[in-house]
Amino acid sequence: MGWYIDTYNKLNGKANFSTITGKPLELWGSKGRREATARGLSYTLEVATKQLNINPSGATVVIQGYGNAGSISAKLLHEQGYKIIAVSDSKGEFL
């Protein structure tokens, strides 16, 4: 997203990095940003399963989309004991 910051600055004449997501670390990006969306899902499922008395090791998961968020979510959820039974790509094709 460095190119976006550069273009934004050229068009607006001043730097405003707070409104741009996905920045590289050298442009004040956040460490862990690549995994952030997947971690958010992981934390949400953790809370939901506790509230609903669902044991993750007995739960099955289907993931729509296998880009950055989907692939990392699959990895994190598998590590937490969920059984991943299907994933699909951006075209809806099952992998």
- The per-residue pLDDT for range 31-75, each reduced to its tens digit, is 888 888 899 999 999 999 999 999 999 899 999 888 889 999 999
Q: Would the pLDDT of 19 be above 80?
A: no
pLDDT at 91: 76
Angle between helix 68-79 and 33-51 (nearest 10) = 50
Domain ranges of the chain: 1-31, 35-95
Q: Quick check: 15 pLDDT over 90? A: no
**Considering only the top CATH level, what class is 35-95?**
alpha beta
CB 69 within 8 A of CB 79: no
CA end-to-end span of the chain, whole Å? 29
CA angle 45, 64, 48 (to 5 degrees): 10
**pLDDT class for 82, splitting at 50, 70, 90?**
very high
Report pTM.
0.69
Query: What's the pLDDT score for residue 33?
Result: 80
